[in-house]
Amino acid sequence: MKMLEVQDLNVWFGSGRDRVDAVKHATFDVAQGESFGLVGESGSGKSTILRAITGLAPDWSGTIKVEGQAIGHKRPKTFFKTVQMVFQDPYASLHPRHSVDQVLGETLQLHGFRDIDARVVRLLDDVGLGQKFRFRYPHQLSGGQRQRVAIARALAPEPDLLLLDEPTSALDVSVQAEILNLLADLRTEHRLTYVMVSHDLSVVGHMCDRLAVMKDGEIVEVLGVDALRHKNAEHPYSRHLLEASV
Ligand SMILES: Nc1ncnc2c1ncn2[C@@H]1O[C@H](COP(=O)(O)OP(=O)(O)O)[C@@H](O)[C@H]1O
Ligand SMILES: [Mg+2]
């Protein structure tokens, strides 16, 4: 089954002369359980694709289907029981005056869970933090620990599809691999499907089964991981990206 189908997606900001066409005619699909990468240089429209899927980019046309169902411009609350997003910057994505317990507890409550205590404890275990972090505040956490909390918050509604927007690029190099390993483990344990944005081909090559190469708002090519390993691309721009990577 297809977890995600994106057909002829266009996303724009502003209007008239100020209009920016951030994504143009993007088409791709992601199978259930697959890990799919979006790569391309800064400004190529990668984040905008994720934001359109999750309802954070209001102006779009085309078709977005999740688990076979076309989604409209308004996302019902139940949508977020299926689709969750992890943002690039764990410093900006956590409220400074909310403890870890509040962040996770409130998310669980919002999604109608009752056994909040047990679930908070389990989520902290799932992301490798453990209970001693439960009553801490963001300023008492490192970047990697914050990103683990953001990942726990995304897992709280028990989603099927995680949209990951450069989840390690704001972190120290030394903790990037830890978070990538955690994400790889969580995908198996929770049977998740990933769409992961990265400007780093080695990250995508390590984490993803297939990837779309973006340039100036368009998907120029979709490659399998074998093609990536053998630097086997058709489009000159993807070849250029592959050759530039180590
Ligand atoms: N909120 C916004 N308002 C206006 N333009 C935006 C907005 N968000 C993104 N853009 C523009 O859309 C294009 C794609 O941006 P983005 O999706 O963030 O690229 P990427 O994630 O690949 O770096 C860029 O030209 C960017 O300036
Ligand atoms: Mg981006």
**Token pair in block for residue 124:** 């902290």
233 band by pLDDT with thresholds 50, 70 and 90: confident
Asked whether residue 246 carries a pLDDT value surpassing 70, the answer given is: no
Per-residue pLDDT at 22:
98
Which numbered ligand comes closest to the C-alpha of 166? 2
Cα 45 to ligand 1 centre (Å): 6
Amino acid identity for residue 108 in this structure: L
Other beta carbons less than 10 A from residue 88's beta carbon: 18
- Protein residue with least CA distance to atom 1, ligand 1: 13
Q: Ligand 1: list residues with CB < 6 Å.
A: 13, 20, 22, 40, 42-48
List the beta bridge partners of residue 224.
Answer: 210
Largest pairwise CA distance in the chain: 53
Distance between CA atoms of residues 34 and 208, nearest Å? 8
**Mean pLDDT over residues 120-147, rounded?**
97
Give the ligand whose atoms come closest to the C-alpha of residue 42.
1
Residue 244 has what pLDDT? 81
- The residue contributing the CA closest to ligand 1 atom 26 is 43
In terms of DSSP bridges, do strands 60-66 and 161-165 run parallel, antiparallel, or are they unpaired? unpaired
What mean pLDDT do residues 119-128 have?
98
Angle at alpha carbon of residue 9, lines to 8 and 10, rounded to 5°: 115
pLDDT tens track for 166-199: 999 999 988 999 999 999 999 999 999 999 999 8
Averaged pLDDT for residues 84-104: 93
What's the rounded mean pLDDT across residues 74-82?
A: 93
- Best of 15, 18, 20 to mutate for ligand 1, by most ligand atoms within 8 A of CB? 20
Of all atoms in ligand 1, which is nearest to the CA of residue 41? 22
Distance separating alpha carbons of residues 77 and 174, to the nearest angstrom:
37
C-alpha 96 to ligand 1 mean position (Å): 26
Atom of ligand 1 nearest to the CA of 166: 21
Least confident of 185-189, 214-218, 225-229: 225-229
Residue 150 has pLDDT above 80, yes or no: yes
- Which domains, ranges and CATH numbers included, belong to the chain? 2-244 (3.40.50.300)
Q: Counting ligands in written order, which one lies closest to the CA of residue 41?
A: 1
**Ligand 1 atom at shortest distance from the alpha carbon of 23:** 14
Ligand 1 atom at minimum distance from 40 CA? 22
